[in-house]
Amino acid sequence: MRVLVTGGAGFIGSHLCDAFLARGDDVSVIDDLSRGRASRLPEGVELYPDSVLDASRLSTLVEQARPELICHLAAQVDVRASVAYSGQDAEVNIVGTVNLLEAARAVGARMLFASTGGALYGEDAPVPSSESMQPAPGSPYGVAKYCAEQYIGLYNRRYCTEHAVLRFANVYGPRQGASVVSVFCANGIEGKPLTIYGDGKQTRDYVYVDDCVAAFLAAANYGKAGTWNIGTGTEINVLDLAELVARQTGFRSQPVFAPARMGEVSRSALIWERAAQDLGWQPITSLSDGVRAVVRWFEAGAPDRAFR
């Protein structure tokens, strides 16, 4: 299969490229390298260092690559940045997605869209949250992702396409940049403080990157439209995450507290039974094992090409 991955030089995207190549697919990547790194990509991947915001150039590249499947991960993913620069967030996450939908339509490609779960369902949603919940996002990032989902639904209705949406919980793993798990692990190894924003009682659902990649492959094989939560269904608060990281890094670090961040929900976890029913997918990596893999990655010098 010919596969195009936008944001393929990023954290999740580079792992996804590895997986598609491993199963024998022809893989190309569009990434403007504002956050991604070309060094993450294995040999055999064609890299186009371009932006999804350039509609004309994007159409040309998609026409050239002629993908059968497009995995759309290029995005602005920082909730705090979305609050500070809402227009830029909307441009990347909404306009960029529409540009890609048009390019995909021209070549008859199917799209898998990397959306969000934690930022989508909102502060008042039951936890864990299911796909049947009406989204009520509390940040511009969540609003933009939901708007992009609505465009995907529109294209499916209007053009009889089979584009699909994967709503991810908090993804973590090797190659990740400044996320709470990676920052805690890096600081824990070096004996630096583990900074906790707010009281530390806010919860998240942490899903390991290999499990997310498996969800993409399962959705690719499924071949039909759908919207699926991809998480573990388990909440853990930041205090307990800091304790877990400290334990796995030899208790060299102590927590310190800083003011809470704007735009973030207090609790989040995702019900994943629909993905199990439709895709045959389930999370298999425990948080303890996943954190251990991230610690080992940092101990090895954080090489871009290392998995574990």
Assess contact for 138 and 86: CB atoms under 8 A.
no
Given 48, 141, 146, 206, the catalytic residue: 141
The partner residues of 47 in beta bridges, in order of sequence, read 29
E strands along the chain, which residues?
2-6, 26-30, 46-48, 69-72, 110-116, 164-168, 170-172, 194-197, 203-204, 206-208, 226-230, 236-237, 255-258
Note if 197 is an active site residue: no
What are the backbone angles phi and psi of residue 230, rounded to the nearest 5°? -125, 100
**Minimal CA–CA distance to 7: which of 34, 37, 30?**
30
- Helices 96-107 and 140-159 meet at what angle, rounded to 10? 20
C-alpha span between 241 and 244 (Å, rounded)? 5
- Cα angle 173, 205, 274; round to 5: 105
Q: What is the CB neighbour count within 10 angstroms for residue 135?
A: 21
Angle at 145 between CA 25 and CA 60, to 5 degrees: 45
238, 183 contact by CB (below 8 A): no
Nearest of 79, 69, 109, 86 to residue 218 by alpha carbon? 69
Closest CA to 223 of 145, 279, 291, 288: 279
Active site residues: 141
